[in-house]
Every structure is written in C-alpha cells, then in structure tokens.
Amino acid sequence: DGGITQSPKYLFRKEGQNVTLSCEQNLNHDAMYWYRQDPGQGLRLIYYSQIVNDFQKGDIAEGYSVSREKKESFPLTVTSAQKNPTAFYLCATQYPGGADEQFFGPGTRLTVL
Amino acid sequence: AQSVTQLGSHVSVSEGALVLLRCNYSSSVPPYLFWYVQYPNQGLQLLLKYTSAATLVKGINGFEAEFKKSETSFHLTKPSAHMSDAAEYFCAVSSSGGYNKLIFGAGTRLAVHP
C-alpha cells in the first residue's frame, strides 16, 4: 500500500530538548518537503530535498535540521534553537514529470511543555 | 515572485447552498494551480489542479474551479454544500515544469450549518 508515513502522530517535548520527526515514503518520489502549519498562517516551508544527499533551506529553516540519506526517508530534527516549536508538521513528496502536485503525509503535532 | 491570496479566512454556508472560495494568484510565468482540502488533524488532500489544459477543472467531491487569466483568479465552487465539506481549503501556485515549490495561501475554513 503506497503512501507517506509520519510518526509519531503526537509528540511532546520539554523545552531545551531536540526531537526528530520521521517521514517515510514508498511512492518512489524523488522530492520531499517539510512544512510547518500554524493557525491562520497556512503552510510554511522548512526544508526540501530533490535528491538523496542534497537538501535546501526553505523560508523558516532556523532551528531545524534535516538529512536525506535514503530516497525513502527525510527526517526533521527540531532543535532547542527553535524558539516556538509547537505546531503541526507536514511532510510531502513530489514526483518528476508531473504537474508539481505534492502528496502529503498525515502530519505530526508537536507540543512543547 | 509568486504569491497566493485567499479572500476570507472563514466562510459559512448552509447545507445545500453554493460554496464559493476565492483564490487570486500572482505569477510571472504560466502557473500551475491547485486546491487542497484539510480535515482536522490530517494532511492535505488534492481536490483539483490546473495545468494549462481546460480552464474549467473538475475535481473530487463535486468541486470545480475556473482559471481566469485576465482576473488572475482560480476560485473553487461547489453547487450544493454538504456537511462533510466542512474543512480548511488551501489554494497553491507553482511555476510549470520540474520540481517547483508550491506557494500556499493562508487557507479558508469552510463551515456548513444545517
């Protein structure tokens, strides 16, 4: 069954801790994206990767880090440098030759206690 | 630079009434345009997309959108609202071809009341 998996669904973190959000896909898509969603602000791009071992900063990369060691996986680390990390995080993929549409995972809700 | 403006952060309609969600875009190149729907605590699901073929695009769940270049608009409509249409809707734009980032609007939350 093809799709995008994000885990965990809910995540709680204490201030000062780093936390890693998982995103796995079996769609064989080359490009992967991380977005942050806050109420009333739509989706803001954190990082994206178009190929293994390469990634670029999006609009709000400060306080976040990523890796792309495998085509199927694009984990996002929220570091202690991120001042306001409580948000809903969405992972998306994109395939070549299409009309640029992105496919989204179910999301991870991160809450800082 | 590309941008998207969704007019109205909240829209409320009666069940059975017309749904109209507005989206205006800015793009220096022929755009690809998308409408996504998001139910609470879920990811986004593609409703429909415009890719320079027909200007009237039909999507899932009875939704459609019309691309109007002269008005730089891509409004989403549905003739008769259903309670299950209550969700948040996002309009997005990208330049055509290859891996291009999507630029999203701020979203419109649709409420449907009996």
- Do residues A37 and A88 touch, judged by C-beta distance below 8 A? yes
A110: distance to nearest CA of chain B, Å? 12
pLDDT at position A88: 96
pLDDT > 70: percent of chain B? 96
Residue of B nearest to A40 (CA): B106
Residue of A nearest to B105 (CA): A42
Is the pLDDT at B65 greater than 80, yes or no? Answer: yes
* Most confident segment among A1-5, B56-60, B98-102: B56-60
B59: distance to nearest CA of chain A, Å? 14
Which chain B residues are within 8 Å of A94, Cβ to Cβ?
A: 99
B87: distance to nearest CA of chain A, Å? 13
pLDDT at position A99: 66
Is there a contact between A109 and B41 if contact means CB atoms under 8 Å apart?
yes
Which phi and psi (to 5°) does residue A110 adopt?
Answer: -105, 130
Tokens matching residue B84: 């299950």
To the nearest 10°, report the CA torsion of A23, A26, A32, A36: -40
Is there a contact between A99 and B32 if contact means CB atoms under 8 Å apart?
yes
Average pLDDT over residues A14-36: 94
Q: Which of B41, B51, B104 sits opposite A43 (nearest CB)?
A: B104
Residues B36-57: pLDDT tens digits? 999 998 999 999 999 877 899 9
pLDDT at position A48: 94
Q: Which of A30, A50, A105 sits opposite B43 (nearest CB)?
A: A105
Amino acid identity for residue B114 in this structure: P
| pLDDT classification of B31: cutoffs 50, 70, 90 | confident
Least confident interval from A48-57, B25-34, B58-67, B97-106: B97-106
pLDDT at position A40: 77
| pLDDT classification of B98: cutoffs 50, 70, 90 | low
| Average pLDDT of every residue of chain B | 92
Which chain A residues are within 8 Å of B106, Cβ to Cβ?
A: 40-42
The set of residues, in sequence order, having a beta carbon less than 8 Å from that of A11 and lying 6+ positions away, is A19, A21, A108, A109, A110, A111
Tokens matching residue A85: 């990390």
End-to-end distance of chain A based on CA atoms, in angstroms?
35
- Do residues A21 and A78 touch, judged by C-beta distance below 8 A? yes
- Do residues A75 and A66 touch, judged by C-beta distance below 8 A? yes
| Average pLDDT of every residue of chain A | 92
Interface test with A, best of B3, B44, B94 (most A CBs within 10 A): B44
